[in-house]
Amino acid sequence: MTTRRLTLPTLVPAALLTAVLALAGCAGADEENAGPTETASDSSTAEPTPSSSAPAQTADPEPDATPTPKPTPTEQPAPELEITVAGDQVSPNAVELELGIGETLLLRFDADRPGELHVHSKPEQYVDFTAGTSTHELVVTTPGTVEIEEHDSGSVVALVEVS
């Protein structure tokens, strides 16, 4: 007979072992990378968001509006998303954002009608906005890619990578 060839019982475990080892190494690298970003997000949530357009707050009748932010000297501005609603025209168009787990995203609305945002996080969240300008805070605690969708128009305004 011919020389003994590599058989399946040896081949498959060997292949899987290679893949597992490679991925284990890679997951370790990810954790190292993830470390500094998470601490950075922690520091930015710990400090109030610097906001020069704070007067807009006065127009906001919502009880859950953000407390008036004090300008503080942070190295990084807090992440913000400005959403403009004019009837069925909603902008921005699926802008891509990155957010830390538990980090606050400031939503600034400029709307000519009231409406609702569906935040497809796990679990889902809903943000009601009124006509006029208003601000809201959004916090996502589950990692993933989160679509933020204006409900009436069905437009996705942002895709947020939470990690």
Which residues would be at the binding site for other proteins (CB under 8 A)?
2, 5-8, 11-12, 15-16, 18-20, 22-27, 29-31, 93-94, 96, 120-124, 142-147, 149, 154-156, 159, 161-163
20 vs 59, beta carbon nearer other proteins: 20
Residue 36 in tokens? 């500094």
Question: Please, what is the minimum distance in Å from the beta carbon of residue 32 to other proteins?
Answer: 11
Question: Please, what is the minimum distance in Å from the beta carbon of residue 161 to other proteins?
Answer: 6
Find tokens 């400005």 and name the residue: 82
Distance CA 47, CA 32 (A): 24
Assign 52 to helix, strand or coil: coil
Phi, psi of 94 (to 5 degrees): 45, 55
Question: Please, what is the minimum distance in Å from the beta carbon of residue 140 to other proteins?
Answer: 9
67 bridge partner residues: none
37 vs 74, beta carbon nearer other proteins: 37
